[in-house]
Structure 1
Amino acid sequence: MGAALLALAAALIGGGVSLASVFLTQRGAERGWTLEHERIERHREEDRIREWDSRLLEERRAVYTRLNATARAARDALAGCMHDLRRGGSLDEARRAELDERWSAYVVQHAESHMIVSDAVLPVVGAANGSLRKIYGLVQRLDSGQSDREEDLQELSRRVEDLWDQLTALRDEMRQDLGITARVEAPSRQAGEGRWTAVQARF
């Protein structure tokens, strides 16, 4: 009888050990599967983030390129208007048509850029836009004859000269934002009104 009980106890213990072993093996497998699933999901999320960052960078590069081109084309048209106003007092139809075309292209591109430019670039975009709009307004007033001609011509000349620096600052900030060039301090110069920087002239 004693031997039978010992055999039964041994069988029960052995069965329990086997069940525990199976349970632990199953839990270990489930834990391993969970960790693997989490690793796969983490890698997928990292891939999605990299893909998004890459796409955003390409879109930003394209917008920056168009903004730079249209802003400089508008600047060239406005500078041409300034020379014509100095010489003849008003613009001819060809010059007005050129200005309208380039200005419209710039306005559209400037509006588009606000949806994708970085926070670092946005103030410089605002500074350049403010200067361009002020120059455009002066040209319109001078062309219509509704202005103090001599005073406005002097202001127009000064603003066109300053615009070169602001568009250069905008270009450099965009290049730095894209990682093309290293970040440097904003360009500055000593003027009659004191130290000037591109990011101070927000419009």
Structure 2
Amino acid sequence: MSGAIVSLIVGIVGVGGTLASGAVTQVLAQRAESRRLDQAQQIRAAEQRASEDQRKIDRLRSCYAQLNAHDRQYRDAMLAYAYDLKSGSTNADVTEVSSARRAQRDTRAEAQLLASDAVLAAESPVNERLTTAYRHLMSIEGESDPSTQRAKISRIIGLLDSIIPLQGHVRDLMRFEVRTTEELPDGHNSESAPATLHQTDA
């Protein structure tokens, strides 16, 4: 093989190598850019999920804050009214009780669409006791015997007082679900059997 042919072959190989090197470099660059775009897309998707999760948490926090507040206001309004009746106060006014009851019912209706099953299950005994207390409290005025009336009012007050630990239980769950706290308190358990007043007792 003559030197000219060898030189030609070497030249061809060199040119091919240069061209191949450029093509390989371009492929590698495209792959790197594709990976960068994929990573950027994954980051954006993760940020969107985090943002959506935060919106849900914020909405749930607002719902829980309203439910907690209105359950307490409803209880407090009935308790104040019961003590007024017990003391024979002429200022006893059921208007605040009725207003608190409506607010609690509206808030609870919204919570039934947003709250978790765990919170609804824990809040249900609270609502049952509030409903029972309201029903018996509204029947007090129909009681003609003062001593019987006072006894019924005392039982209603006891029922309303019994709601406090249940509300604490619900509040613990709410705080956990909206990430205010990372774990539930020690000894946290559900109280499933609501206390009730028998019709013959109140």
Q: Same fold (TM over 0.5)?
A: yes
The separation in 1 between residues aligned to 2:168 and 2:91, in whole angstroms, is 30
Specify the alignment match of 1:127 in structure 2: 125
- Give the 5 Å matches for 1:11-50: 11-50=11-50
- Preserved CA contact (<8 Å) 2:81 2:92: no
Number of residue pairs the alignment of both structures matches = 188
CA shift in 2, pair 1:38/1:21, >3 Å: same
**Partner amino acid for 1:164?**
I
Tell me the TM-score normalized by structure 2: 0.74
Specify the alignment match of 1:191 in structure 2: none
**Partner amino acid for 2:61?**
R
132-141 or 61-70, larger mean C-alpha shift: 132-141
The separation in 1 between residues aligned to 2:141 and 2:169, in whole angstroms, is 29
Query: Which among 168, 192, 195 is matched to residue 200 of structure 1?
Result: 192
**Partner amino acid for 2:113?**
M
The separation in 2 between residues aligned to 1:27 and 1:144, in whole angstroms, is 90
Using the aligned pairs only, state the percent identity: 25
CA shift in 2, pair 1:99/1:179, >3 Å: same
- Preserved CA contact (<8 Å) 2:126 2:166: yes
Question: What does the per-residue CA deviation read over 1:143-164, in whole Å, with 9 as the maximum and x for residues that have no partner?
Answer: 566xxx7796575344212112
28-37 or 8-17, larger mean C-alpha shift: 8-17
Shift of 1:34: 0.8
Alignment gaps of 5+ in structure 1: 188-196
What value does the CA root-mean-square deviation take over the aligned residues?
A: 3.2
CA shift in 2, pair 1:15/1:152, >3 Å: farther
Specify the alignment match of 1:173 in structure 2: 173
Alignment gaps of 5+ in structure 2: 195-202
Specify the alignment match of 2:164 in structure 1: 164
Question: What does the per-residue CA deviation read over 1:121-171, in whole Å, with 9 as the maximum and x for residues that have no partner?
Answer: 3322223222222222333444566xxx77965753442121122122222
Shift of 1:73: 0.7
**Partner amino acid for 1:56?**
K
| Partner-residue secondary structure (3-state), 1:95 | coil
